[in-house]
């Protein structure tokens, strides 16, 4: 297979949704139909004690939620698929936003009963801002939910994007029997799920005009389907790939990830329509995936995927050129030449050493602490630098220190590694050697931090909540002692030694700003500021 053919067959996408919309479950079922696993584990199944393969952290298995992005690869129907399964919980939205930087498209899950929820709106806005084409999967069709026409209208009104149904549910709300494929004009009826979604669902396919389907469905349901199809054809939007690419139209599918209802038709249609790797804007130039000069973007770092070895895996999205095992590349941020040995691809914790990889692929490499999130690797004549990731201002703060001072070394190592992952932001106060000020986007991040430090580094924490909710960065040229109104504030340094002011609330911050009109207080640090 030629280099260009390898690039063309890549599909790299993120799955996004509000919590509990079924994101991890859909990921499992895509793996099931892709042949990557033979028996799906349900996140909610307590009887069988199975857990989703994409949830590899122990805390994820216990809580039944995803708290970090998972990277999963498999082949299906000639395509090489890279799935980025993101956390749905808003407390981990920063990890989700970074992961979207590595995706060429996104699958947006919507609970058919709840419709468009708060976190879905935020994630949709990020995708739209980045120009990521969005495909919609209306999930949980095995439960009672909104009328499909009402759901389409809600997507258009709430998200401001037109929706074009690629298939349509057949039957009565809560008791749907199958789906109609609008592109191929075929009906697919699904057998009753007897395996609780652990195995592939059998189905019967055929033409909508086949008398057999009219007999199976009954005259009323069959006629209702005919009427719905006619209404969609006359009054609905037509599929237009250019509009999908422009973020003006979302192809919409109906199904149930839990029971596998409609999963295979969605997968096959999505792979047919989803974009192959797209060009990326670097600071110097546009980087095309077809370029033979290698470049990659570090979008995620994960410490202790193997707790026994305290390894540190850097996940990178290959943007151009062919990756080969053992190749030496330039790390743009440090200027160092790095040899990328033991490159790995993942099915959650299952790792496979890879000899080569192509644009669109996600690979992991071991790192001793040189690389950071947002860094660029490249080689060849054209040296490029991809833009920094945005830093999200933390809203919750705590002073964290080890209970046992004898474990200070493990504490510092753990805090530094988890901060490099982007799990939390850490700040330091001058002359405070045994504690860190930790900032987080959500309170659940503190729980995960405490859990991981205990289980991965053997450190129990003392956690003292601080009365601040606002962080502001100020330039190094500013004399902190000259700023008026900081009596109740805390002045700290971030991981790049930039000065940050922590203050109680927005009202207090506005008051400080009014008293210091000549000073610029930044919500996030300047990008590319070293």
Cα 252 from Cα 2, distance rounded (Å): 33
Q: How far is CA 373 from CA 345, 394, 419, 505, 517, in A?
A: 18, 17, 10, 29, 34
Strand, coil or helix: what is 527? coil
Known binding residue 20? Answer is: yes
Closest CA to 103 of 418, 362, 422: 362
Is residue 42 within 8 Å of residue 25, measured between CB atoms? yes
Is residue 86 within 8 Å of residue 95, measured between CB atoms? yes
Known binding residue 454? Answer is: no
Known binding residue 409? Answer is: no
Known binding residue 111? Answer is: no
Known binding residue 516? Answer is: no
Known binding residue 21? Answer is: yes
Known binding residue 18? Answer is: yes
Residues paired with residue 490 on neighbouring β-strands, in sequence order: 502
Question: Following DSSP, what letter does each residue of 361-429 receive, concatenated?
Answer: -EEEEE-SS---TT-EEE-SS----BPPPPPPPP-EEEEEEESSGGGHHHHHHHHHHHHHHTSSEEEB-
DSSP 238: P
Provide the sign of the torsion angle of the four alpha carbons 341, 342, 343, 349, taken in this order.
negative
Known binding residue 140? Answer is: yes
Known binding residue 24? Answer is: yes
Known binding residue 86? Answer is: yes
Known binding residue 22? Answer is: yes
Known binding residue 167? Answer is: no
Provide the sign of the torsion angle of the four alpha carbons 298, 301, 305, 308, taken in this order.
positive
Known binding residue 527? Answer is: no
Q: Show binding-site residues for GTP.
A: 17-24, 85-89, 139-142
Q: Show binding-site residues.
A: 17-24, 85-89, 139-142
């Amino acid at each position: 297979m030629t280099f260009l053919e390898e690039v063309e067959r890549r599909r790299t996408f993120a799955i996004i949704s509000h919590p509990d919309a079924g994101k991890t479950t859909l990921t499992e079922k895509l793996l099931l139909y892709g042949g990557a696993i033979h028996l799906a584990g349900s996140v909610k199944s307590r009887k069988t004690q199975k857990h989703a393969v994409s949830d590899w952290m122990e805390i994820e298995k216990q809580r039944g939620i995803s708290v970090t992005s998972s990277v999963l690869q498999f082949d299906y129907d000639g395509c090489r698929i890279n799935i980025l399964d993101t956390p749905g919980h808003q407390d981990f939205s920063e990890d989700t936003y970074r992961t979207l930087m590595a995706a060429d498209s996104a699958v947006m899950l919507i609970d058919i009963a709840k419709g468009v929820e708060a976190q879905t709106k935020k994630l949709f806005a990020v995708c739209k801002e980045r120009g990521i084409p969005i495909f919609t999967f209306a999930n949980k069709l095995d439960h009672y939910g909104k009328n499909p026409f009402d759901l389409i209208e809600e997507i258009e009104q709430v998200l401001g994007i037109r929706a074009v149904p690629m298939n349509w549910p057949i039957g009565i709300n809560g008791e749907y029997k199958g789906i109609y494929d609008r592109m191929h004009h075929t009906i697919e009826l699904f057998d009753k799920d007897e395996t609780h979604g652990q195995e592939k669902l059998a189905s019967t396919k055929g033409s909508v005009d086949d008398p057999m389907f009219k007999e199976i469905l009954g005259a009323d349901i069959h006629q209702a389907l005919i009427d719905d199809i006619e209404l969609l054809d006359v009054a609905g939007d037509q599929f237009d790939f250019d509009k999908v690419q422009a973020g003006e139209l979302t192809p919409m599918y109906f199904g149930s990830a839990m029971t596998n209802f409609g999963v295979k038709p969605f997968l096959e249609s999505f792979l047919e329509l989803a974009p192959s790797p797209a060009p990326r804007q670097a600071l110097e130039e546009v980087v095309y995936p077809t370029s033979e000069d290698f470049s990659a973007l570090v979008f995620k770092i994960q410490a202790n995927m193997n707790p026994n070895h305290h390894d540190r895996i850097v996940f990178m999205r290959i943007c151009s050129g062919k990756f080969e095992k053992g190749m030496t590349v330039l790390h743009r941020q440090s200027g160092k030449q790095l040899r990328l040995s033991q490159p790995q691809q993942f099915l959650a914790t299952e790792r496979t050493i890879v000899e080569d990889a192509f644009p669109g692929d996600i690979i992991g490499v071991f790192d001793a602490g040189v690389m950071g999130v947002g860094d660029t690797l490249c080689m060849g004549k054209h040296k490029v630098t991809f833009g920094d990731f945005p830093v999200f201002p933390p809203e919750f703060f705590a002073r964290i220190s080890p209970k046992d001072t004898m474990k200070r070394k493990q504490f510092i190592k753990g805090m530094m590694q988890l901060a490099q992952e982007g799990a939390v932001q850490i700040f330091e106060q001058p002359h405070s050697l045994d504690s860190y000020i930790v900032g987080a986007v959500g309170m659940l991040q503190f729980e995960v931090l405490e859990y991981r430090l205990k289980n991965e580094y053997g450190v129990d924490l003392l956690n003292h909540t601080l009365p601040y909710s606002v962080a502001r960065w100020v330039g190094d040229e500013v004399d902190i002692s000259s700023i008026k109104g900081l009596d109740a504030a805390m002045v700290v340094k971030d991981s790049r030694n930039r000065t940050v002011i922590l203050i109680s609330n927005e009202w207090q911050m506005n008051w400080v700003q009014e008293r210091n009109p000549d000073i610029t207080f930044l919500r996030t640090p300047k990008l590319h500021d070293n």
